[in-house]
Structures are given as structure tokens and as C-alpha cells.
Structure 1
Amino acid sequence: MLSEDELALLDAIRETGSLSRAAARLGKAPSTVSHAARQLESRFDALLFDRRRYRLQLTPAGLLLAEEAGRLMQDMARMTQRVRQIASGWEDRLWIVIDEIIDFDLLMPVIRTFDTLQSGVKLRLTNEVLGGTWEALRDARADLIIGATNEPPAIPGLRWFDLGAMEWVFAVSPRHPLAAAKGPLKRENISAHRGVVVADTSRVTSGRAYGLVGGQASLAVPNMRAKILAQRDGLGVGWLPKRQVASLLKRGDLVEKDTVDPREPNKLYVAWRGDHEGRALQWWVEQLRQPRLARRLVQGLDLFA
């Protein structure tokens, strides 16, 4: 391993092309720099500096040494920073799984604020749906989950709180047969038509499908935006987040229908494992407890405004 002084010497000679200018840059006497250069060559038993030309240059061996040593020093600096980071209570990485129902745009300001802490913690944010969100926490594929639905399952060390309740509307395309139906829709009216659902990402179960009635055919799509588009184009029917389709309903691109069996608002949860609470996780939990942010996450964005 090269010392920081030796690395600085190699870099200064490469940049200035002169022992005297390298010495001035390093704040040392030219004789001191010249002696250090000869010692470095003796140490590696290789010609590292080409002194035959007017401009002093690193030989191919010297250039390789400078590049490799520079990488090693960067690795050492990163390792030192990570050790100090962990020692001060910050995690090396925080893995956040967001249920697909949550709009990522609303979390971007939180990420920017977290960046100002300069904690060194690497963030990883991924999506899951329904059962897959809880599974990610249970299977250690997440340190924190945001927007999980249904009651919290049995997970060792589980800690959680609810963000609030998301409201839904039953909506169909104005061209769909149900758009002209009179009165509140009954189960048999709905089951006669294909329902659109966001596919559950559970790895160990067949998954859940919200809003379907017994025997109803279904079309599973990858996310809520796709579900909204599919229903707007008459590919099926189903429940949609009220806020996210407000503009489509206002313009008449979707038609809200009353149902005999209304859907209750869904509680959305934030959850984590209490046995691994580093400073980054604690910071995120504190932010998500703020009523204003929680309310915005639950309401969501009007996706088609």
C-alpha cells in the first residue's frame, strides 16, 4: 500500500510534468521530491519516471501504479467513512419497499431532505403489491415498508402505525355496458363483467385481488396506472383510488357507479422490524409520522390532471 504522500507525489508529477513544479505544488523542496521519487522506484524495483524528455512523465509502469494505488486509496477512504458511519449509528444501506399504491413522486422531497444529512447511507427503494409488501419485510428484503394494506401479519419484532385510510370509487368507461345501468350495482351485475386488478407480488401465496366478487373473470395488470388506463378503455371494471382518478371522472373519461356493497376505505401502514433500528430508519419513521406527509401519501396524486 502506498502512503498518502507517495500517492500525492505520483499525482503531482503526472499533472505538472516537472519535479520542481511537483515540489512547489506539494510545498516541498525539489531535492526532497527527487529523493522520494528515487525511493519509490527502488521500492518497486522498476523505472516509474521517464526523465529523458523535457517534460517528466510517468512510464507505463508508473502510470499503472498511480492508477491502481489511487483506486486502493479511494477504497480505503470509503471503508474508513463506512466504519465511522456505522460506529455513529447510521446504517450502511436502508432498503425501503413502497407498496405500488403510493405515488413515488410524493417521497422525492423526503429523499432530498435525507440527502442533506450527508449520512452516507445508501438508499434502495423498490415496489411490491399487496401481500408482497408485507412479505418483503418478513423475508428481510426490506428494512421499512410504506403503504402496506390489510392488517399487519405476525412478524417477529414488528412495529407499525397506520398512515390513514384511502378512499375508493367504482368506475367504468362511459362505453362500458355498466355505465348505462340504473341504480346501485348488485354483485351479480358486477360479476358478469371482467374485473381489473393490480397483480399481487407475493412469492409464497397465490396473492389477493381486491374488489373482485365470486366467480368474476379478471385481468391482472402490473400497477395502478395500468389498471386505471385499462378501465378507462373499457377492458374491465373495478375500484380505483378516488384522488388518482378525480380528473378522469370530472372529464367523463370514467363514470363513477354506486354499488349495493360499497368498499370500505383501506388503511395503509408503515412498518419495520424493531430489532434493527438505525438512525436512518428512525429518521424515516419520524418523517412518515408527520400528519401532512401521511395525508398526502394516503390521498395520492391526481394521475391524469
Structure 2
Amino acid sequence: MLDTETMRTFIKVVESNSFSKAAKLLYKTPAAISYRIKSLEADLNTQLFERTTRTVTLTLAGQHLYEQCSQWLLWLSTMPEELQQIRDGVERKINITINNLLYDVEAVTDLLTFLTEKFPFTTFNINRQVYMGVWDSLLHGECHLAIGATGTESLDTMINILPLGEVSWVFVAAKHHPITQIDGALSNDILRKYPAINVEDTSVHMNKRVAWLLPSQSEIIVPNINTKLACHLKGLGIGFLPKSICQSYLESGELIACKVVNERKPSPLSLAWKKSHMGKVMNEIVNLFKFHHPIANNFLKNIDKRR
């Protein structure tokens, strides 16, 4: 009913809006084209075209068949190469999680451009997570590789780890914020008077971590690190920011670094990936980071102390 010749004939009629034009393009007679389409409609018991004396247009059923046939023919044309890649150990799908602290639009775009050119038949899915949400996606989700898993030790024997370095933190407030006028290290009693600005941990199955929040202190929760920075600049609250992100604002005076009683220690981050899904694509990504390729380094802009 739907052999490749019939599908190609059907598509050519759709794209030329004419039986006669399709016949010329396929080196067939108009009668042969018309007969094949009528036979297809009879087999399907469905009208595919609205016919006039000059043109033909698709019915809703015809439009649906056209979309499906186009996909089928495309798949048939690429299927031999897809099978060869699978045979050669190239994964069909790779899910990548990126820590919110390392997420960079240009870095993601460059990575996808590199990977899709080298592995055109692999599907890539990238998402962003916060804190333990990165590990959660690896251990309980469908993530195959994570850029920026917290810590330098694996939480599971089936996960490999490659340390990337550390993110350093600075306690900041907007230049016009009241605490910038106080000399010396700021006590917790002073700090808890003002809201803490935090990005919420996205973990679902594991215990969430809170970046910095004192008992009885109010909190403003935002979706990502860029929004957190913007809130600090507006003076909406206080808290820690990665040194690399706020450095230019500290130099311009828009943000002021404050001394606090309990400083935040640097956060070590790692590349982490599942051993069970290690194919050519995963190996390529790991090597980008292992051998400090510029594409990998683009993700490490917020890491001050690299491995």
C-alpha cells in the first residue's frame, strides 16, 4: 500500500500541486500518476486530495500522511548510516546535566555544534540543575553525564568522576545596602535582619542543600545564578556569589564585599558520568575535559582553582 515509490509519487504531487507537473518530474504520464494516487486513496479508504481543474490541495488526512511520509523517507535515506554508527559504538541518545554554576549559553551551543557535526545521528538533551539536583539526575534520572557534580568523590560505584576545580565565594551586598556601612566582620545577628537570596536546590529524591540561610532569616528564592546576581545588584538581599561572577561588579563598586563571621568554603565540582553508558560520544565528551579542550574550558569560567 505504502511502498517507497508510492510515497515519493504522493509527495511529488503535494509539492508541485499538480498531477501533470509531478508526472513531468517523475518522467511518468499524468494518467499513471493519477492512477497511483487513486489506488492509494482506495486502499486507505480516505480522500487525500481536493481536486479542481487546475490544482490539487491536501485534505486534513492528506496533510497528515504527507508529514508522515516525509519523515519515513528521510529515515529510510539515513537509516544505513545510523545503523553503522550504532554498530561502531556510537550512542543513539545522550542526556547531559549542567550545574547552574557552570551553565553558559555559548559554551552549551559550542558543545552541541561540535557533537552534532561529529555524531549527526545522536540525539542530545541538555538540562540545568542546582546543587544536589545534579547528582539526583545522575542517580535517579535519565542523565548520562553531568558537568559540575558537587564534590570530588563519586556517590555511586557506577559513576566515574573527573575533578574540574573549585568555585570560590564572596559575601556581597549592593553599594547602597545598609550593611556596607558597618565596619568589621558582620555578626549573624546583623545579617539575619536582611533577606538571603538563594537559588533552590532542584533535587527531588535526595536531600536538598541550602547555600546560605541563618535561623529565622527570610529568604528570596530565584531560579538561576543570573537572577540571583541581579537581585544582589538591586539591593533586594544579601548572600554569597561566585567570585568570578561578581568580580567586575566589585571592581566597579556596584557590589561591596563584606566580611562575615562564617565564610563559605570553596565548592569543588567534577565531571561525572555513568560507566554503563560509555560509548564513543561519551568518551569524546570526557576527553574534551580531560585534555582541556577550549570547548570544555568554556564551561569552567566560574571555576577559580582548576585541577
TM-score normalized by structure 1?
0.78
Percent of paired sites with the same residue: 24
Contact 2:174–2:235 (Cα < 8 Å) also in 1: yes
Shift of residue 145 of structure 1?
1.2
Asked if 1:75 corresponds to 2:72, the answer is yes
Q: Does the 8 Å CA contact 2:173/2:237 hold for their aligned counterparts?
A: yes
Shift of 1:274: 0.6
Which residue of structure 1 lines up, in the alignment, with residue 164 of structure 2? 163
Aligned equivalent of 2:100: 100
**Distance in structure 1 (CA, Å) of the matches to 2:266 and 2:58:** 69
What is residue 283 of structure 1 aligned with on the other side? 284
CA distance in 2, matches of 1:50, 1:224: 55
Partners of 1:130 and 1:200 within 8 A in 2: yes
Tell me how far apart the structure 1 counterparts of residues 51 and 178 of structure 2 sit (CA, whole Å). 87
Q: CA deviation at 1:135?
A: 0.3
Structure 1 residues 108-257: aligned runs within 5 Å? 108-205=109-206, 207-213=208-214, 216-257=217-258
Residues 2 and 227 (structure 1), Cα distance of their counterparts in 2 relative to 1, 3 Å cut: same
Shift of 1:256: 0.8
- Match of 1:86, as an amino acid? I
Between 210-219 and 102-111, the greater mean CA deviation after superposition: 210-219
1:42, CA displacement in angstroms? 5.2
Partner of 1:3: 3
Larger radius of gyration between Structure 1 and Structure 2 = 1
CA distance in 1, matches of 2:284, 2:205: 31
Q: 1:3 to 1:234 in 2, by over 3 A?
A: same
CA distance in 2, matches of 1:160, 1:221: 29
Using the TM superposition, give the Cα deviation of residue 116 of structure 1 relative to its aligned residue in structure 2, in angstroms.
1.9
Match of 1:116, SS state, is helix
Contact 2:99 2:149 survives alignment (8 Å): yes
8 Å CA contact 1:99, 1:133 repeated in 2:
yes
Q: Please report how far the alpha carbon of residue 240 of structure 1 lies from its aligned counterpart in structure 2 after TM superposition.
A: 0.6
Q: Which amino acid aligns with 1:103?
A: Y
CA distance in 1, matches of 2:133, 2:225: 15
**Shift of residue 59, structure 1, vs aligned partner:** 8.6
The residue type equivalent to 2:10 in the other structure is L
Mapped contact 1:100–1:224 kept (Cα < 8 A): yes
Alignment of 1:48-67 (within 5 A): 53=53
Counterpart check, 1:299 vs 2:265: no
**Structure 1 stretch displaced more, 200-209 or 147-156:** 147-156
1:124-148, Cα deviation, whole Å (9 max, x unpaired): 2111111111101101331111122
Deviations 1:143-184 (A, max 9, x none): 111122235452241012122111221111223232122223
Determine the C-alpha separation between the residues in 2 that align with 1:220 and 1:16.
Answer: 56
Code of the aligned partner of 2:197: V
How much has 1:300 moved relative to structure 2? Answer: 3.3
Corresponding letter in the other structure for 1:299: K
Decide whether aligned partners of structure 1 residues 206 and 219 sit closer, same or farther in structure 2, where only a CA change above 3 A counts: farther
C-alpha change, 1:213 and 1:5, in structure 2 (3 Å) is same
CA distance in 1, matches of 2:272, 2:301: 19
Closer/same/farther in 2, CA of residues 7 and 79 from structure 1, 3 Å limit? closer
Give 1:23 shift: 4.7
> Structure 1 residues 200 and 67 mapped into 2: Cα distance closer, same or farther (>3 Å)?
closer
TM-score (structure 2 length as normaliser):
0.78
CA distance 1:298–1:9, shift in 2 (3 Å): closer
Q: Secondary structure at the match of 2:277?
A: coil
CA contact (8 A) 1:164 1:295 kept: no
SS at match of 2:285: helix
Q: What is the alpha-carbon distance in structure 2 between the residues aligned to residue 36 and residue 295 of structure 1? A: 57
Q: Identify if the C-alpha distance between structure 1 residues 138 and 5 changes in structure 2 by more than 3 Å, giving closer, same or farther.
A: same
How far did residue 205 of structure 1 move? 4.6
